[in-house]
Structure 1
Amino acid sequence: MASLFKWLFRLATALVVLCLLAVAAVYYLASRSLPDYDKELAVRGIDGPVEIVRNNANVPHIFGAGDADVFFGLGYAHAQDRLWQMVTLRRTVQGRLSEVFGRRTLSTDTLMRRLDLYPRATRSVAAQDDRTLAALTAYAAGVNARLDEINRSALGRGAPEFFLFEAPIAPWQPADSIALIKLLAVQLSGQMQEEVLRARTSLLIPDEDRLRDILPDVPGSGTAALPEYAALVPEIRKGHQDYARLPRDPLSPFAPRGLAGASNAWAAAPSRSASGGTLLANDPHLGFTAPAIWYLARLELETGGVIGATVPGVPVVMAGKSPNLGWGVTSSYLDDQDLYIEQLNPDNPQQYRTPGGFKDFETRRSIVRIKDEAPVTVTLRWTDNGPVLPGSHFDLGAITPAGHVATLAWTALSDADTSLSAAMGLMYAQDIDAAVATGKDFVAPSQMLTLADKEGIALQLVGRMPRRSERHESQGRLPTKGWAAENRWQGSLPYEDNPSFLRPEGGIVGNTNNKVIDRPFPEHVSFNWGDSQRIERWTRLMQGREVHTRDSFTEAQLDTVSFAARSLLPLIGADLWFTGEAAPAGTLARQRQVALTLLADWNGEMNEHLPEPLIYAAWLRALQERLIRDDLGPLADEYTHVEPLFIERVYRDIDGASAWCDILQSSPEESCTDIARLALDDAVVWLEETHGRDLSALRWGDAHEATHDHPVLGEVPVLRHFVNIRQSTSGGDHTLLRGRTRGTGANPYLNVHGAGYRGVYDFADPDSSVFITSTGQSGHFLSRHYDDLGSLWRRGEYIPMSLDEDLARAAATGVTRLMPQ
């Protein structure tokens, strides 16, 4: 017996030792790819020495003998920190994910092949100006220099993920960077989904008034430039087919409805600034990932330093500042997509109907290679209107009749896309006039540019606006007949027609994805806008004081008060508060009274530590579900987020909208008060089941957790605890500190989409400008810079943003010197 115990002990000890050795081996291999930031390296492709000076937040400050060398350094730095992310994004837009990840990404690959984005990016290289071509070439050389170093020095393949998903890494090409801009357009575009949902809803609800309720137009003339402060404060006087829905993969760039691009940006002229210098704040919103899509960097160009947020793989500062100019980006919600229903020739399905008769599809075969499986051949088809899309994507099968196919017209499908040249031009522009002129070359994604130089501010829509006929059957709001000439695009509108607000008298401009202008079709910008609530809170904060400071701008970025909550709760709870007798303890009626009491004393602040935001969110979600489920049936599942304008229309009975309160399948006629009470009961029951019975002990942040998940390893057991970054957060769908909720699943309130970057620029004291990202600079989960900025971001803190070279060198934690070989 003693001998048996001895051998079992030895065996257990050996197993433990083997496990420790295995862990040590894995750690050694993974850590080999951790970059050394303090070194000297001889490389080909530069004319003089390049220095990459990194501070304690791992922000690189890049200096070189010329601009080409600086872009070389940026490519090298991007590849040091984000190589896996860059390669994965490139594979995504190329439609080559399945070569690495297998069949799970086949639907994403085939859709990318149908859109043909990468070949269009390749053809767009020739359309770039000479300055941009030189930057693209130098940047690619910098990326490839890092690849050569990895291969030559056996640096762990560049990232730990390459050990798990082995695949060759092709050299970086200029077209790759242009393709990533087109991939951003995919992530930021949502007009197509709106068309499909409107079409599906209109099939169930033919009544125009009721359709206008559930899919409301944003009222008003639009907000962009605010009026002079004295005008608001008088006492101050101064100058159908069968189809199968495909599951969404975390690697898919196609965002569900409601989760496309968003953002905030605003600027103040010297007349509205306490310091006498212009101010600009910007926080672009995208889906959260680990690492974030943004990468902070400073480039010392011949025209001066440029600092801000870059996207790994792209050699431009997308949002940032130079000594003379600051620029912020927000999604414009320009209607730059139209769906068409194309009729097939019944005698020859290889042809489609046009205004002049039937015409052959343009076709091409494309082979999608799949890991460990036989390749799949996809037949790609195009019409004059755009590529043919399958019914399995975007629910197109639900609105496409038999004998027809759906196609997409989209500005991003350009073969001569000069958007990257325009973005490059912003870094060289010296004032807002030059920046506005540069905007002419933007194609897609369309953005609202918020600009500030040392003397003035501006707001400019950039991106190509499609020219539609006045006789367009749906005004671009619904899929239309592709063979009708009046429905087809007729080129694009001149850049001069893009909305522009240059040096407004009121001294304040801003955009929260709200309606900015009200022009009749076809000169309109859009019928679908991304915000109708944040803009109300922003307007109040901006006009609540005559002059602003950097601190007041950061406070606005971090503001958590929900205008929607403040405006809707008095409407839906008007007949519920403080009514009826006290209910016995432990009953649903008592819980309802507790919830109402909490909400009655709440100021609408979506603070992570409070219970009221969670009660409010659950009530409004249950209320919308009660209002629409009996009318829409299963289609109600597509309305994943509460639409405040719909709730307001119903409870104000605008154009008879209170009709939604009556349940069609029941005999009695329910009032809106009845539905509000029932919905609150639904919410209380759900809260008890998921978060506990004590409503006062609830905490919004426990449900509203920011999900910075690794798109590949985030679902792998054990590993997910190392690669995913989760944070309790304040804010919500309709706050300036926007934390867009998932809207589906067991926890619909997870924070999945928000400001991955925040920056505030002060031209009176440039060195006091600040910025932050939501995770960290490194994409390597063993690096301390993988999530070190995330804790600051969560607390609403920033790091200094300075173009002072002496400060950068004084705070250096590592200097990489690239020497010409």
Structure 2
Amino acid sequence: MKRSLRVLAVLILALAAGAGGYLYSKQPSRQGQVELAGLQGSVTVRYDERGIPHIRAENETDLYRALGYVHAQDRLFQMEAMRRLARGELAEVLGPKLLDTDKLFRSLRIRERAASYVAALDRESPAWKALQAYLDGINHYQDSHASPIEFDVLGIPKRPFTAEDTISVAGYMAYSFAAAFRTEPVLTYVRDQLGSDYLKVFDLDWQPKGVLASHKNPPAPALSARDWQGLGALAQLSRQALEEAGLPQFEGSNAWAIAGNRTKSGKPLLAGDPHIRFSVPAVWYEAQLSAPGFELYGHHQALVPFAFLGHNLDFGWSLTMFQNDDLDLIAEKVNPDNPNQVRYHDQWVDLISSEQQIAVKGQAPVTLVLRQSPHGPIVNDALGANAGQTPIAMWWAFLETPNPILEGFYQLNRADTLAKARNAASKVQAPGLNIVWANARGDIGWWAAALLPKRPLGATPGFILDGSSVQADKDGFYPFSANPQEENPARGYIVSANFQPVSPSGMEIPGYYNLSDRGQQLDRQLSDKTVKWDIDASQKLQLGTTTAYGPRLLAPLLPELRSLVSDPQELKLVEQLAQWPGDYPLQSTSATLFNQLLFELTNAVFHEKLGDSLFDTLLTTRVIDAALPRLTADANSPWWDNRLTPQRETRAHTLKLAWRASIDHLKRTLGDDPAQWRWGDAHTLTHGHPLGTQKPLERVLNVGPFAAPGAHEVPNNQTSKIGPAPWPVTYGPSTRRIIDFADAAHSLTINPVGQSGVPFDKHYQDQAEAYIEGVYQQAHFSEEEVVANTRSTLKLLPARPAH
């Protein structure tokens, strides 16, 4: 027995040692010397206490080659996953369950656009040379090191990363902005199947003076039942493909720039927090880049060498999503005598067909037939037999614009004047982005960057368009000067929060904009002339959890609730709601009750009329946010009536049912005592790894859960989908940055989890608790502070010639 136990102990120790050695081989190496092919001189990489690389090189090409190398050792699996999703190649490593996702992304034609885009790039441009050096650095790391753990688990083969992969990831980013796939089927169904009275609730009117200035509340071919089922399935597939991939999806954002005459320091102040779906690793990779004539502290995205967020001592910028509608769905009219022809400009034209093979793990490749009309790719072909009988084409700016976005961001990384920043912004055409910029000289600026299409008069792209008419045509694009923009406005600040912008030309700009409440909240505080803004005040603004949305939605319901509720304890809850200021601290119980009531009302009103798939899709759109306050304010809205019952329901009737359902659900879920219905217990954030949906991997790879303050459409925009308690947070600030240009060397930043994407690395989740608690970290910029905070140094050397 003793001998057996000794043998068992030795085996366990051997296995533990083997596992330890395996895991050690996967960890990033942040110290020592490494030879890197292609370097002209040595490069020093100093890592600080958060694992941020501070890279110093003798020239730009070496700088970007080194960035590629260190980025890959922290984020190689993220790079691989993002290119596979964008290019429709996930089923090859994840199996048949990802086949529909691959079909969808193949139908978007991102692969083809990436190939044509790269073929047209100037091989002598500095941006191209920087991209190639960066990719060389990635590939050198991949070729010379053990594969990441995820590669081993999934059986992913190594293959070189290319410029086409970089552009494909840009296409994925553009598509993740596009709300049309989710929104247009819902709105078209409401218009065509329910009627115009039902549309009024969605607040589709343009505000010609803008939402901040006014502070106001904000026929297609006949489609068959099978077509509507197919559109519902297409909307769900689009949503699931993004949500279930465990990869970043771009949703919203805050940014503001304050002129020096409004700040304590007398210099401009810049703040920003792009709102992106949470994931492990997080979207941004921080790095300081230094070479003769170039210095930048930047936040980089996988496979992109140029910082999408950045600053130095002279200038900086942040981004929000423009949310202009740059993707139209178009119902084609099919020739009854030839199913391969559609009506276009009063004649029948052939659809163009091609085939692609999709590799599928564990089974034979699947052939996908892709079709294209004069308007664009037929996207519902991805659904196969479930697509319905009407081809749905897609016009998408990403496929149709020159879009020199790489050149734009290369220049923006160096834009130290208003004129340079404006010129760089004009090169960002798809996806649409708001670029909020400031410099130490005292300038602030904002440009809505996109190439906006000229649509026919009367075309309403919020609905599926009729391909047999001219409403789906495009007559070129508007000049950049027509885009919304401001430079050094007299009020002394600029705020961008995804609300509807105003063009200097006065034209309407179709888009799926967020409610104005968040922007109005920021605007009210920034417009207070008694405040001199500094870093501390900006932190409080970014972490704010209050807007007027909840109270204004509740206001019309409170008189009816007071008359409908008879239980004394429940009446106390009604009065608590009446006093609730619309904030979301962790201890709030009113926030919990409000969000449960919000779901019960939404479910009672919309679910029955839309059906499962379209209702579920509606909950993921921005139009539902506009609809709910309008609904509660209109006691005569047709939505209140349940069409499945013989009697006519009223707002009071539905409200009574929703209140009862809310109280019952919260008691079942959070306990009988309403004092225990704390927001932080019901609203939690877990950062999910792409493999973290599988047990028991979720315990190792996911990070959380954490009690999360904030909510949807407050400045600290920790969003969860409308639904019953509890509420898992899905997206929020992907970083928080604040820069005072009186002391830009001491900017603030934070990562939601950690810099590294390598499981078991010390920087995998070392910022997660600080992030959720609203703590900021100082970004080290000056040479003295980088030296003082260096924890390890990696020296990259030119490869010696082989003998």
> What TM-score results when the alignment is normalised by the length of structure 2?
0.91
SS in 2 for 1:436: helix
Where do 1:382-461 residues align within 5 Å?
382-390=372-380, 397=387, 402=389, 404-414=390-400, 416-454=402-440, 455-461=442-448
Mapped to 2, the partners of 1:396 and 1:369 lie a distance apart of: 22
Larger deviation, residues 802-811 vs 217-226: 217-226
Is residue 342–residue 406 contact of structure 1 (8 Å, CA) maintained in 2?
A: yes
Are 1:646 and 2:627 an aligned pair?
yes
Amino acid at match of 2:392: A
Tell me, which stretches of 5 or more residues in structure 1 are unaligned?
1-5, 151-155, 228-239, 584-588
Cα displacement (A) at 1:594: 4.1
After superposition, the Cα gap between the structure-2 partners of 1:251 and 1:99, relative to the gap in structure 1 and judged at 3 Å, is farther
Larger deviation, residues 166-175 vs 129-138: 166-175
Amino acid at match of 2:289: L
SS in 2 for 1:374: strand
After superposition, the Cα gap between the structure-2 partners of 1:696 and 1:429, relative to the gap in structure 1 and judged at 3 Å, is same
Larger deviation, residues 782-791 vs 480-489: 480-489
The alignment covers a number of residue pairs equal to 776
Where do 1:238-317 residues align within 5 Å?
240=224, 241=226, 243=229, 245=233, 252-253=241-242, 261-317=251-307
Are 1:815 and 2:793 an aligned pair?
yes
After superposition, the Cα gap between the structure-2 partners of 1:601 and 1:795, relative to the gap in structure 1 and judged at 3 Å, is same
Is residue 107–residue 382 contact of structure 2 (8 Å, CA) maintained in 1?
A: no
Question: Where does residue 3 of structure 1 map in the other structure?
Answer: none
Is residue 482–residue 504 contact of structure 2 (8 Å, CA) maintained in 1?
A: no
Among candidates 174, 177, 187, match of residue 198 of structure 1:
187
Question: Where does residue 200 of structure 2 map in the other structure?
Answer: 212
Question: Where does residue 683 of structure 1 map in the other structure?
Answer: 662
Mapped to 2, the partners of 1:395 and 1:489 lie a distance apart of: 31
SS in 1 for 2:364: coil
Aligned residues: percent identity? 27
Mapped to 1, the partners of 2:485 and 2:152 lie a distance apart of: 50
Question: Where does residue 221 of structure 1 map in the other structure?
Answer: 209
Render the CA deviation track for 1:4-55: whole Å, top value 9, x for unaligned: xx5xx87788667645644543332122110110111112111111111110
Among candidates 686, 689, 701, match of residue 723 of structure 1:
701
Question: Where does residue 130 of structure 2 map in the other structure?
Answer: 135
Question: Where does residue 25 of structure 2 map in the other structure?
Answer: 32
Question: Where does residue 232 of structure 1 map in the other structure?
Answer: none
Cα displacement (A) at 1:354: 1.8
Mapped to 1, the partners of 2:184 and 2:475 lie a distance apart of: 20
Question: Where does residue 327 of structure 1 map in the other structure?
Answer: 317
Amino acid at match of 1:707: T
Question: Where does residue 184 of structure 1 map in the other structure?
Answer: 173
Among candidates 509, 524, 538, match of residue 525 of structure 1:
509
Cα displacement (A) at 1:815: 1.2
Amino acid at match of 2:126: R
Mapped to 2, the partners of 1:117 and 1:76 lie a distance apart of: 26
Render the CA deviation track for 1:246-278: whole Å, top value 9, x for unaligned: 77699833799x975211111101111111010
Where do 1:747-766 residues align within 5 Å?
747=725, 749-766=727-744
After superposition, the Cα gap between the structure-2 partners of 1:488 and 1:678, relative to the gap in structure 1 and judged at 3 Å, is same
Is residue 93–residue 156 contact of structure 2 (8 Å, CA) maintained in 1?
A: yes
Are 1:508 and 2:501 an aligned pair?
no
Is residue 338–residue 479 contact of structure 1 (8 Å, CA) maintained in 2?
A: yes
After superposition, the Cα gap between the structure-2 partners of 1:488 and 1:567, relative to the gap in structure 1 and judged at 3 Å, is same
Mapped to 1, the partners of 2:588 and 2:385 lie a distance apart of: 38
Question: Where does residue 40 of structure 2 map in the other structure?
Answer: 47
Cα displacement (A) at 1:730: 0.5
Cα displacement (A) at 1:718: 2.1
Among candidates 680, 686, 705, match of residue 684 of structure 2:
705
Question: Where does residue 235 of structure 1 map in the other structure?
Answer: none
Is residue 193–residue 394 contact of structure 1 (8 Å, CA) maintained in 2?
A: no
Question: Where does residue 625 of structure 1 map in the other structure?
Answer: 603
Are 1:96 and 2:89 an aligned pair?
yes
| RMSD across aligned positions (CA) | 2.8
Is residue 226–residue 507 contact of structure 1 (8 Å, CA) maintained in 2?
A: no
Mapped to 1, the partners of 2:525 and 2:708 lie a distance apart of: 22
After superposition, the Cα gap between the structure-2 partners of 1:651 and 1:530, relative to the gap in structure 1 and judged at 3 Å, is closer
Cα displacement (A) at 1:87: 1.1
Larger deviation, residues 414-423 vs 271-280: 414-423
Cα displacement (A) at 1:392: 6.2
After superposition, the Cα gap between the structure-2 partners of 1:381 and 1:547, relative to the gap in structure 1 and judged at 3 Å, is same
SS in 2 for 1:574: helix
SS in 1 for 2:727: coil
Mapped to 2, the partners of 1:700 and 1:24 lie a distance apart of: 44
Cα displacement (A) at 1:64: 0.5
After superposition, the Cα gap between the structure-2 partners of 1:145 and 1:512, relative to the gap in structure 1 and judged at 3 Å, is same
Are 1:551 and 2:536 an aligned pair?
yes
SS in 1 for 2:188: helix
Is residue 183–residue 618 contact of structure 2 (8 Å, CA) maintained in 1?
A: no
After superposition, the Cα gap between the structure-2 partners of 1:657 and 1:554, relative to the gap in structure 1 and judged at 3 Å, is farther
Question: Where does residue 221 of structure 2 map in the other structure?
Answer: none
> What TM-score results when the alignment is normalised by the length of structure 1?
0.89
Among candidates 68, 80, 83, match of residue 61 of structure 2:
68
Larger deviation, residues 271-280 vs 125-134: 125-134
Mapped to 1, the partners of 2:609 and 2:370 lie a distance apart of: 38
Question: Where does residue 347 of structure 1 map in the other structure?
Answer: 337
Mapped to 2, the partners of 1:682 and 1:89 lie a distance apart of: 41
After superposition, the Cα gap between the structure-2 partners of 1:580 and 1:205, relative to the gap in structure 1 and judged at 3 Å, is closer
After superposition, the Cα gap between the structure-2 partners of 1:89 and 1:601, relative to the gap in structure 1 and judged at 3 Å, is same
After superposition, the Cα gap between the structure-2 partners of 1:336 and 1:499, relative to the gap in structure 1 and judged at 3 Å, is same
Render the CA deviation track for 1:690-744: whole Å, top value 9, x for unaligned: 1111111122122211131011x21221221111112211111121100111335
Are 1:467 and 2:451 an aligned pair?
no
After superposition, the Cα gap between the structure-2 partners of 1:14 and 1:26, relative to the gap in structure 1 and judged at 3 Å, is same
Mapped to 1, the partners of 2:685 and 2:121 lie a distance apart of: 38
Cα displacement (A) at 1:626: 2.7
Question: Where does residue 739 of structure 1 map in the other structure?
Answer: 718
Among candidates 672, 676, 680, match of residue 693 of structure 1:
672
Question: Where does residue 144 of structure 2 map in the other structure?
Answer: 149
Among candidates 528, 531, 537, match of residue 521 of structure 2:
537
Question: Where does residue 233 of structure 1 map in the other structure?
Answer: none
Cα displacement (A) at 1:504: 0.6
Amino acid at match of 1:675: T
SS in 2 for 1:317: coil
Mapped to 2, the partners of 1:56 and 1:756 lie a distance apart of: 20
Cα displacement (A) at 1:75: 0.4
Among candidates 488, 500, 505, match of residue 473 of structure 2:
488
Mapped to 2, the partners of 1:613 and 1:424 lie a distance apart of: 44
SS in 2 for 1:369: strand
Cα displacement (A) at 1:427: 0.4
